[in-house]
Amino acid sequence: MDKVIIFDTTLRDGEQAAGASLNPQEKLEIARQLEKLGVDVIEAGFPASSPGDFEAVQLISKEVQRPIICALSLANIDAVDRAWEAIKEASHPRIHVFLSASDIHLLYQLKKGREEILVMSREIVARAKSHVDDVEFSPMDASRSEPDYLYRMLEAAIEAGATTVNIPDTVGYATPQEFGDLIQGIFDNVPNIHKAVVSVHCHNDLGLAVANSLEAIRKGARQVECTVNGIGERAGNASLEEIVMALKTRQDFFGLTTGINTRQIYKASRLVSEVIGFPVQPNKAIVGANAFRHQSGVHQDGVIKKSITYEIMDPKSVGIPSSVLVLSKLSGKRAFRERLAELGYTLDEEDFARAFKRFKELADKKKEVTDRDIESLIAEERRTTTEVYHLDHVEVSCGDHSLPTATVRLISPDGRSLADAALGTGPVDAVYKAINRIVGIPNELTEFTVKSVTEGIDAIGEVLIRVESEGVTYTGRGAATDIIVASAKAYMNALNRLLVSKAAKTGKGKRK
């Protein structure tokens, strides 16, 4: 086979993640998305575990037609019969039975001997086979089982009618070489292995679930059991999106395909995250928020020139509209100019140099500079073109047991540095009084408004004020991560407009 069967167990093993719980309608919604995604097998649940799970498996069996619908069952007759009742209306039903194989489980959990377990495995597979042609058998904790005993167990299950034998690394104990050798040993030592599909089910306790699964595929396994976003027991399962995109991206190495519509991957990831309530970590491969986001200036330059320099996958191939250049203190001029162009701004070299300088100053204060930050920054830059006095320095001291004090330094039209200080009823009032002592233009503050431009504790605050002088109102705006500085900028913007207007009326004064 040149195709790997994708067996999705999000609705069964994924739901076993601590804190995860799905009702039947939520399971059906995810199952429908999994069908769009193109998975070959949906393990819809564990019917014997609860009435709700039975209902969910039964509902999915009726509503979802294309994939195989699989029900998990304990190794007892009643559980197998219950699984059959749940999936009997499926277009393509499968019963998946499991039984522990490791001496650790046999001794401490089942308290049974090896030969007794062999008899049970034959009987339980035969019972499942009496209901359906498609039977999967899993020797649980296979990676910690004695290999010769595991071979015997698989041979017995296949003789009894198993069409798929699944090799679970139940506790995520194996390393890739060990697990690959185990799969190779099964092909070499189970006489009837050619009568069944070899599957793997790897857990992520050591962070090796995907690596172990891919190595097993390389050794001949042709079904891989996985979950969307890698959710599942403890540290989770092999991640569906990572398995699928590894096979697709490195087809030159594996020479294998899947039936997955990869453009549905991101949608499936978001749906599972929202319904189960587990956020996807930002650095999660393929579907994490940062998977196609570039922050380094060097990387951004490369991606702008040719995406393949730093992207081995097209984001559109997994359903993400495009990659993102994250503007931060690490970004270079090229990325900043590119983002300005995307936002519709074209600046000459002098204006761009000033805007880039302001961007770097802002980026030193924020983890990420957003589009709204940039728009505010450009608006701030445009406001400085009407400067008469330039705000050079603001410093305040305030508290619930101290007098608000502000020190301000302005650069005058002739280039002199002018400083003064003042007390006020609050820090903003003190700043405004200090500015008035320097500028000396009578005015009355008639409006003061503050709003957040972006989200987060490091958000840019934008201040809008209106001052009145001689019956005329002048509006000023200022923005900064420090709201006191933003207030000072807004006041200076309004006063500069006032000064420019007066100069225009008298024919005196020049814009700086």
Residue ranges of the chain assigned to CATH 3.20.20.70: 5-276
Q: Are the beta carbons of 386 and 504 closer than 8 angstroms?
A: no
Closest CA to 213 of 275, 258, 271, 168: 168
Distance between CA 73 and CA 93 in Å, rounded?
13
**107: DSSP letter:** I
Q: Are the beta carbons of 120 and 75 closer than 8 angstroms?
A: yes
Closest CA to 469 of 441, 449, 488: 441
Cβ density class 52-69: b for 16+ within 10 Å, e for less: ebbbbbbbbbeebeebbb
Cβ density class 492-512: b for 16+ within 10 Å, e for less: bbbbbbbbbebeeeeeeeeeb
Q: Are the beta carbons of 228 and 241 closer than 8 angstroms?
A: yes
Q: What is the dihedral of CA 444, 446, 452, 453, to 10 degrees?
A: -80
Strands (E), 262-366: 293-294, 324-325
pLDDT in tens, the chain (512 residues): 599 999 999 999 999 998 888 899 999 999 999 999 999 999 999 999 999 999 999 999 999 999 999 999 999 999 999 999 999 999 999 999 999 999 999 889 888 899 999 999 999 999 999 999 999 999 999 999 999 999 999 999 999 999 999 999 999 999 999 999 999 999 999 999 999 999 999 999 999 999 999 999 999 999 999 999 999 999 999 999 999 999 999 999 999 999 999 999 999 998 999 888 888 898 999 998 788 877 777 887 787 788 888 888 988 899 877 666 666 777 888 878 877 776 667 778 888 888 888 888 878 876 777 766 776 677 666 656 567 899 999 999 998 888 999 999 999 988 899 999 999 999 999 999 999 999 999 999 999 989 886 666 667 788 888 899 988 888 788 888 889 999 999 899 889 888 887 776 676 444 33
Closest CA to 210 of 254, 241, 164: 241
Residue ranges of the chain assigned to CATH 3.30.160.270: 384-506
Match domain 5-276 to its CATH number in 3.40.50.2300, 3.30.420.40, 3.40.50.620, 3.20.20.70. 3.20.20.70
Closest CA to 35 of 3, 66, 60: 66
In residues, how long is the chain? 512
Distance between CA 247 and CA 254 in Å, rounded?
6
The reply to whether CATH 3.90.1200.10 applies to domain 384-506 is: no
| Distances in whole angstroms, Cα of residue 71 to Cα of each of 61, 100, 493, 499 | 10, 18, 69, 79
| Distances in whole angstroms, Cα of residue 456 to Cα of each of 25, 99, 290 | 35, 51, 18
Distance between CA 292 and CA 316 in Å, rounded?
10
Answer whether 0.75 is exceeded by the pTM.
no
